[in-house]
Amino acid sequence: MSYFSELAAQYIDGEWLAGDGSWDIVDVDPYTGDKLATVTVATVEQVDRAYRAAARAQKEWAATNPYARRLVFERALRLVEEREDEITRAIMAELGGTALKAGFELSLTKDMLRECMQLSLLAEGRLLPSPVDGKENRLYRLPVGVVGVISPFNFPLFLSLKAVGPALALGNGVVLKPHQETPVVGGTLLAKLFADAGLPAGLLNVVVTDIAEIGDAFLEHPVPKVISFTGSDRVGRHVATVAASHFKRTVLELGGNSALIVLDDADLDYAVDAAVFSRFAHQGQVCMAANRVLVDRSVVAEFTGKFVAKIASLTVGDPKDPATQIGPLINPVQADSINAQVDQAVEAGATVLLRGATVGSLMDPVVLTDVPADSPILRRELFGPVVIVVPVDGEDEAVRIANDTPFGLSGAVHTADVERGVRVAHRIETGMIHVNDGTIADEPIVPFGGEKNSGVGRLNGEYTVDAFTTVKWISIQHGRSRFPF
């Protein structure tokens, strides 16, 4: 079965449909440039149909026993396990993901499906005391109704599921708009898996479209009560503004500019391994990736020599080759943008420690140092295989530079003294940070999210319950209340 021939469509109210728009999104392999599929875009009217279908189906779904809801996720997990080879090939083709990346994404996906089984049972109510005699206060956790989900291209299967799965598990309906670069892996493949797992028709809808066709209709539609967006801070700001103007809640998982700090007592070989993975996993197209490696000046020469040598040994090429560690960026435009930022930094005085060629979407790793303190590249999210080594004089300077960015998603600190690492970690303005590990981590019950421009809200575990449910207070007066008039 070819996912790209079968699933290049809209999925609305349980039906596979052609888009009604007047133009097509062309889905291409970022390594070869070959066309995988074309999808005619969904219109405003089809977005409306999708939301209305989700709203109709949600009522019965919310009333379904949560133990029955969890069975859908059990079946979906089995299907992912059975179809792992096919899904891996789809990730390689549509994303340019290597075998390592595909395995990592599938592992996260399976963990999230297991977590969704538990989430189905976590919407617990409470009884609260009252200062009024004879009054009983009941708090009920209820689904919000319908959730609109907008997902990115870098980990599209997992990051779509990260919002879609919990929202469904908690009794909501969902409309998903995947990124235009990954309409199948990030959208219709998920719809196919859930349909085959027995999810009732209408609960999950996938609309493949673009703002050029629908404007802000996906955000402004009256049905969804929560919008979950994963992507850039620029687009996230727009999503938040539009949603707030319509009194909708948002969950925003945005970009990062993580720092991996290597203190003077760190295990340098281990820190090198952590830093290389933290920067170059999936070509650096990871929001948690370590853009900056801050190294104590007393060990920077030794660290940098080992770091550059390991990066130079990485295999760049065809993601379908099992030996490849760095595949293509999502498109040539992204590669050109990253190279332009590198050129700007070099013109301003940065030193190039390693730089190869760029051919189409395929970009060799770049290592910079001596980047001027006022260089924009130090404060931006770099969604590509570029890393900056920054020498620092002690903990205080490391903390200051790590925090000198509008982002605050992830980070890491390497030291022989764990408690020293924890003290430094407390001073870094991020939602997540790791001592003696990489900057890339996501676990199904641990809160995931950032500070500053890296987002609003948290996902995973009980924090997802807060994101996709609402609380209703029902009081019962046993006996008669006394009113003042």
Please state the pTM of the whole predicted model.
0.95
Dihedral sign for Cα atoms in the order 48, 50, 52, 54: negative
Task: Report residue 7 as tokens.
Answer: 């699933």
Residue-wise pLDDT tens digits, 413-453: 999 999 999 999 999 999 999 999 999 999 999 999 999 99
Residue 371 has what pLDDT? Answer: 96
Domain 258-435: assigned CATH number: 3.40.309.10
Residue 1 has what pLDDT? Answer: 45
Domain ranges within the chain, ordered by starting residue: 3-254+454-473, 258-435
The amino acid present at 485, given as its one-letter code, is: F
Cα separation values, 176 from 129, 186, 189, 467, Å: 40, 9, 12, 16
* Residue among 415, 81, 103 at smallest CA distance from 263: 415
H-state helical runs in 367-446: 394-402, 418-427
Choose, from 213, 253, 381, 395, the residue flagged as catalytic.
253
Dihedral sign for Cα atoms in the order 51, 52, 55, 60: negative
What count of other Cβ atoms lies within 10 Å of the Cβ of residue 474? 10
Listed as ranges, residues in the chain with pLDDT below 50 are 1
Residues near 84 by Cβ (< 8 Å), separated by ≥ 6?
106
- Whether 258-435 and 3-254+454-473 are alike in CATH topology: the answer is no
Choose, from 287, 443, 451, 462, the residue flagged as catalytic.
287
Cα 231 from Cα 209, distance rounded (Å): 16
Domain 3-254+454-473: assigned CATH number: 3.40.605.10
Residue-wise pLDDT tens digits, 375-419: 999 999 999 999 999 999 999 999 999 999 999 999 999 999 999
Strand partners, 296: 392
* Residue among 390, 307, 317 at smallest CA distance from 354: 307
Residue 2 has what pLDDT? Answer: 82
* Residue among 287, 274, 9, 337 at smallest CA distance from 155: 287
253 catalytic per annotation: yes
Strand partners, 473: 139
Burial code (b: 16+ CB inside 10 Å, e: under 16) for 207-237 equals bbbeeebbeebbbbbebbbbbbbbbbbebbe
